[in-house]
Amino acid sequence: MLFSGEKMIELFQKIKDIDHPIVVHINTKKGKGYKFAEQKPDKYHGVSKFNIEEGLKSSSSESISSHVGKKLVKMADEDESIVAITAAMPSGTGLNHFAVSYPYRYYDVGIAEQHATTFAAGLAKEGMKPYFAVYSSFLQRGYDQIIHDISITKKNVTFLIDRAGLVGNDGETHHGVFDLSYLNIVPNITVMAPKDSKELDLMMDLSAKIDGPVAIRYPRGNTYYINKGSYDEIKLGTYEVLEQGSDVLVLAIGNMVKKALSVRDILLKENINPTIVNARFLKPMDEELLSELLKTHSKVVTIEDNIVSGGFGSRINKFIIDNNYNVKIENIGIPDKFVEHGSVDELFATIGMSDEQIADRIKKL
């Protein structure tokens, strides 16, 4: 039976005064009443402004999420033990591609990240290689399971952490700005973040070779390529120097490498020549390269799109303290506050992390 809005109101009025428990089971249809949304409901989950008469226009750009999904399909072509898990976000995480290619190796567990994480541990115990693609802020729901079901027993589970960093208009509940901090304190897990989409592919390849839990974090948006540094096979726990300077050492992780390079262009105009390092691993650290660089730089800056407390910068701070390096250090990251919604560029400016603001902070060193 199809009910109009008026009929639904009439039903609720009839039952509101009933003096015993009652269940109203309503089957809703996503996009009902708007033909474009009815035809492609997943495309209208969260949208920016568009022409209502024409519907959303398809984009020629490839999202990072879709890129990840296609890459995982290629990996599964070569390795029958690879399986994919989503918590009700197949299109959002790009796993819709995997679902079509390998429907019997694809699992949608619904909105149940805790179960998805424990389920992944169970599959790994039986010799499979589960990849759980999940938004950064949603993975917080499975934190206990990350520690107790996966990391303690060193299960071969890989977390593909989508929407890491600021996500724009999705706002406070979706900004993925805590994962570097909450994963930093968990033993036995490898945590990495690529400088661009090419390096993301290399990290996914590496994840299949690591014995133990792995997390790869990457931002929302379309694929991009920096084309600096090496794109050869990545060795576990290695950083790379993208630009050699002399005045200040800038250690950037993940999506912030691109920002660090833009900041360098600003500083060069001020006759400040920074060394830019792609610190692509949170855990393990490249202690050998860090030691060499800290001997030749007296000023150090870390940049991360994660809460500044407990994350990448904190890990670098501890290394400096533990090894008695006499350097001045500045940690740049998300301040201790919940960031509102808005475009990513607007939000970075609001929290003091635009390219110009970061350059100013470095100049003050």
Catalytic: 113?
Answer: yes
* Cα–Cα distance, 352 to 365 (Å, whole number): 16
**Mean pLDDT lowest among 49-53, 188-192, 246-250, 318-322:** 49-53
Lowest-confidence pick of 158-172, 253-267, 299-313: 158-172
| pLDDT greater at residue 358 or residue 35 | 358
What is the end-to-end Cα distance of the chain in Å, rounded? 69
d(CA 278, CA 238): 9
pLDDT of residue 296: 95
- Average pLDDT of every residue of the chain: 94
Q: For residue 249, name the pLDDT band (cuts at 50, 70, 90).
A: very high
Write down the pLDDT at residue 25.
Answer: 84
* Catalytic entry in 30, 32, 295, 363: 30
pLDDT band for position 46 (50/70/90)?
A: low
pTM assigned to the model? 0.90
Looking at the chain, the number of H-run helices and the number of E-run strands are 14, 12
- Is 361 assigned a catalytic role? no
Catalytic entry in 71, 105, 113, 283: 113
Share of the chain above pLDDT 90, in %: 81
Q: Are 313 and 252 in contact (CB under 8 A)?
A: no
Amino acid residing at 41: P
Confidence of residue 134 (pLDDT cuts 50, 70, 90): very high
258 is catalytic: no
Q: Please report, rounded to a whole number, the percentage of residues in the chain having pLDDT higher than 70.
A: 98
**DSSP assignment string, 72-132:** HHHHHHH-TTEEEEESS-TTTTTTHHHHHH-GGGEEE--S-HHHHHHHHHHHHHTT-EEEE
What is the average pLDDT across 254-266? 97
Predicted pLDDT of residue 169: 84
- Assign 52 a pLDDT band (cuts: 50, 70, 90): confident
User: 315, 285 in Cβ contact below 8 A?
Assistant: yes
pLDDT at 41 over 80: no
Q: Is the pLDDT of residue 254 over 90?
A: yes
Instruction: Give the whole-angstrom CA distance, residue 293 versus residue 250.
Output: 10
SS3 199: helix
Look at residue 56 and tell me whether its pLDDT is greater than 80. no
Catalytic residue from among 40, 43, 141, 228: 141
The Cα 312–Cα 60 span in angstroms is 34
3-state secondary structure of 301: strand
Region 91-101: mean pLDDT is 95
When mean pLDDT is compared across 57-66, 102-111, 253-262, the lowest value belongs to 57-66
How confident is the model over 4-17, as a mean pLDDT? 86
Confidence of residue 57 (pLDDT cuts 50, 70, 90): confident
pLDDT at 3: 64
